[in-house]
Amino acid sequence: MSNIYLDNIIDLYKNPLNAGQLDQASVSYRAYNPLCGDEVTVDLLIEDDTIIDVRQRGNGCAISQASISLLTEEVKGKSLDEVMAIRPNEVVEMLGIELSPVRLKCALLGLEALHQAIGKYMNNLKSQ
């Protein structure tokens, strides 16, 4: 495991990307891992089935917080279908480190939040 990747994860933990809240969010979703107490909330601004802007906030270990930071950068400007197609192995590749099964849950919390937010958004559209 490279120190460069570890340093990057610590930096993202201390200086998260796209941190904060979107006041005019199209949808928000909070994901929580009861095993470790990590939590991530994502706010998405969606126009024409494309994520125009994203913000995230939460508490937890460096891996969960670095992961959601990287994911927010990854999904900006992508279609909802493209984001729904992101797979767990892609998140692990973004982080660039080996993960134990417990840490894998931490790393994937942000992806769960994004996928659930999009599902909630789609359900809200159907019920209108």
pTM score, whole prediction: 0.94
Confidence check: pLDDT of 2 > 70: no
**Percent residues over pLDDT 70 in the chain:** 96
Confidence check: pLDDT of 28 > 90: yes
Range list of β-strands (E), 13-107: 27-32, 39-47, 50-59
Q: List the strands of the sheet with 39-47, edge to edge.
A: 27-32, 39-47, 50-59
Mean pLDDT score of the chain:
94
Q: Which position has the token pair 């789609």?
A: 122
Number of domains the chain contains: 1
Q: Which position has the token pair 């992961």?
A: 67
Residue-number span of the structural domain to which 117 is assigned? 3-126
Radius of gyration of the chain (CA): 14
Find residue 59's DSSP bridge partners: 39
> Tell me, what CATH number does 18's domain have?
3.90.1010.10
